[in-house]
């Protein structure tokens, strides 16, 4: 082989190698990132619906570079255990209520349907702009999960209770078998109720079987869509137990760190848009749902002041005692929310 032929052979081999590297690099770049995400409710729960819409919107907006496969609550892990699955890497993302994680963080109850807590708009602005998201991440230190501003949807106030019996006085709560969660559940228990926790998808059957007499779950709109009008005559309204019904997106830290910066921004932007959209939708639908419950034959009424006052007094004592014995982060979040409300309520 002549010298010229050798040079051409080297050039050919080099060109083939470069082309191979380019193809390999292109294939690697074109390989989509696939995430699994779960909501916490059954398919008919608006929070589950908006979770699925958000996941599909991210997939579409990314041009298929990031595919987020949505799962219904309870289909990957037991319902309400979604954040544990994110921590373990079974899921990359989830949309759930912070209060479902009191076994890990007692302070989670402060951010989720708290008696005497921040109402919807105040809660979202505290979370997005007044350090709420940062405090939640501080609370979750040591776990492989994180959140960010825009990830929390405050939602309107919860229905105080759907009940088989009317609640007119504090005594009517005593002995009542109630499904409740978070701090509100503990406070109702202190008021004499017999409180249990069940996932949302089990409430319809539990009321039919008589396992429970009453329950709290979500907003008027969500609860109408869950057909709760069929199992409880009384729809008791009051913001005293849960002035908002927040859900929040959480992501696995390791999965998040692997995303390029543009996809991180895209995920945050889409989540911010869909959490706000869900809040606005449920505010509107909850207004309409009042008439829907009434037209069906349910008695919809405001919780008497006597009961609201009784719950408020128990709640104040509960938080004073709780703050005295919990970790410093508990007090930090409580004080931050209290200070924000003082400023917000004066505007």
Same structural domain for residues 46 and 195? no
Using the predicted structure, report yes or no on whether residue 19 has a pLDDT greater than 60: no
57-94 CB burial, b ≥16 within 10 A, e <16: bbbebbeebbbbebbbbbebbebbbbbbbbbeebbbbb
| Residue 245 pLDDT level (bands cut at 50, 70, 90) | confident
Same structural domain for residues 69 and 197? no
What is the pLDDT, as a whole number, of residue 121?
Answer: 93
Same structural domain for residues 174 and 137? no
Q: What is the mean pLDDT of residues 80-93?
A: 97
Q: What is the mean pLDDT of residues 121-128?
A: 97
pLDDT, tens digit, for every residue of 283-340?
Answer: 999 999 999 999 999 999 999 999 999 999 999 999 999 999 999 999 999 999 999 9
Same structural domain for residues 119 and 177? no
Domain hosting residue 314, numbered range? 159-243+295-318
What is the pLDDT, as a whole number, of residue 238?
Answer: 96
Please name the residues in contact with 21: beta carbons below 8 A apart, sequence gap of 6 or more: none
Residue 273 parent element (H or E): helix 261-296
Same structural domain for residues 79 and 113? yes
What is the pLDDT, as a whole number, of residue 23?
Answer: 44
Same structural domain for residues 206 and 304? yes
Tell which of 261, 284, 307 closes a domain: 284
| Residue 194 pLDDT level (bands cut at 50, 70, 90) | very high
Same structural domain for residues 253 and 114? yes
Q: What is the mean pLDDT of residues 63-81?
A: 96
Same structural domain for residues 239 and 249? no
Nearest residue to 69 via CA among 55, 82, 57? 55
* Mean pLDDT over the full length of the chain: 92
Please name the residues in contact with 146: beta carbons below 8 A apart, sequence gap of 6 or more: 137, 140, 250, 251, 253, 256
Using the predicted structure, report yes or no on whether residue 16 has a pLDDT greater than 90: no
Examine residue 329 and state whether it is found in any structural domain, yes or no.
Answer: no
pTM score, whole prediction: 0.83
Examine residue 238 and state whether it is found in any structural domain, yes or no.
Answer: yes
Same structural domain for residues 111 and 225? no
Residue 161 parent element (H or E): strand 159-163
Examine residue 95 and state whether it is found in any structural domain, yes or no.
Answer: yes
């Amino acid at each position: 082989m002549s010298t010229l032929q050798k040079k051409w052979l080297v050039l050919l081999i080099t060109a083939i190698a470069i082309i191979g590297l380019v193809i390999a690099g292109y294939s690697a770049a074109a390989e989509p990132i696939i995430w699994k995400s779960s909501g916490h409710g059954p398919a008919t729960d608006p929070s589950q619906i908006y979770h699925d819409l958000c996941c599909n919107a991210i997939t579409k907006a990314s041009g298929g570079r990031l595919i987020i496969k949505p799962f219904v609550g309870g289909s990957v892990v037991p319902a309400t255990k979604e954040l544990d699955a994110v921590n373990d890497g079974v899921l990359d993302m989830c949309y759930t209520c912070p209060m479902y994680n009191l076994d890990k963080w007692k302070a989670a109850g402060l951010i989720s349907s708290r008696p005497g807590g921040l109402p919807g708009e105040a809660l979202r602005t505290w979370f997005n702009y007044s350090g709420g998201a940062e405090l939640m991440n501080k609370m979750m230190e040591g776990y492989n999960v994180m959140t960010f501003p825009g990830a929390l949807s405050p939602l309107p106030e919860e229905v105080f209770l759907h009940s088989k019996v009317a609640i007119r006085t504090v005594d009517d709560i005593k002995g009542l078998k109630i499904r409740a969660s978070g701090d509100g559940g503990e406070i109702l228990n202190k008021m004499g109720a017999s409180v249990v926790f069940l996932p949302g998808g089990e409430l319809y059957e539990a009321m039919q079987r008589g396992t429970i007499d009453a329950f709290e779950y979500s907003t008027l709109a969500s609860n109408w869509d869950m057909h709760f009008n069929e199992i409880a005559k009384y729809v008791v309204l009051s913001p005293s137990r849960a002035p908002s019904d927040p859900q929040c997106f959480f992501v696995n830290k390791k999965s998040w760190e692997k995303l390029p910066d543009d996809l991180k921004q895209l995920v945050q932007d889409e989540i911010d848009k869909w959490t706000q959209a869900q809040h606005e939708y449920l505010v509107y639908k909850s207004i309409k749902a009042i008439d829907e419950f009434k037209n069906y034959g349910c008695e919809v009424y405001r919780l008497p002041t006597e009961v609201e006052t009784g719950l408020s007094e128990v709640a104040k004592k509960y938080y004073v005692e709780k703050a005295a014995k919990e970790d410093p982060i508990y007090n930090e979040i409580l004080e931050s929310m209290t200070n924000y409300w003082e400023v917000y309520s004066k505007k």
